[in-house]
Amino acid sequence: MIGSPLFSSRLFIARNVLLFTLLLDDCQSINPRDLWDMYHNFYLDSATFEMIRGQSEKLVGLSKSIISWNKAYGAYFLMINFETLKVLCRFWRKFSHSKNSTSEFINEFKAAVKDVYEKHDLPSTFAESAGPKTLFLHRYFTL
């Protein structure tokens, strides 16, 4: 369930592994601002989104088997069962889905956020403090 602590912990693990693999792969070519934005911004710019999408696609490919995963990242993130890898892969698949960058999705997302604000009378600082976790408020897992 999306709001459950188990869901949130899995989401955070997938995001953290994504970040650390970005750092392991090519830290020199990554803009540090994009890494910051990945964690702290409510809306992501296209450069940050593309960084996340590209790395997520790579992780999806590597997570087809424990052997391929452990060959690439096992020294840092050893996977000992395929179930864990499958759970993380589902998040990376969602992160990398091209539909998330369409103007239709972005407009629907913004409308959903606005609707939540209006229904719950949330202050504008809510979005700023919630960061990318709120990407999962609306429709993200219906792809």
> For residue 27, what is the DSSP state?
G
Mean pLDDT value across residues 51-73: 94
- Amino acid 87: pLDDT: 94
- Are 52 and 65 contacting, i.e. CB atoms less than 8 angstroms apart? no
Q: Which of 14-23, 44-53, 85-94 has the lowest mean pLDDT?
A: 44-53
Q: At what angle do helices 46-62 and 32-40 cross, to 10 degrees?
A: 90
What is the percentage of the chain residues whose pLDDT exceeds 90? 31
Of 29, 1, 18, the closest CA to residue 136 belongs to 1
Integer Cα distance of 98 and 7 in angstroms: 22
Integer Cα distance of 59 and 81 in angstroms: 16
Q: How many CB atoms lie within 10 A of CB 135?
A: 19
pTM assigned to the model = 0.72
- Amino acid 116: pLDDT: 72
Q: Which of 7-16, 48-57, 71-80 has the lowest mean pLDDT?
A: 7-16
Mean pLDDT value across residues 29-56: 82
**pLDDT per residue over 65-85, tens digit each?**
999 999 999 999 999 899 999
- Does the pLDDT value for residue 93 go beyond 60? yes
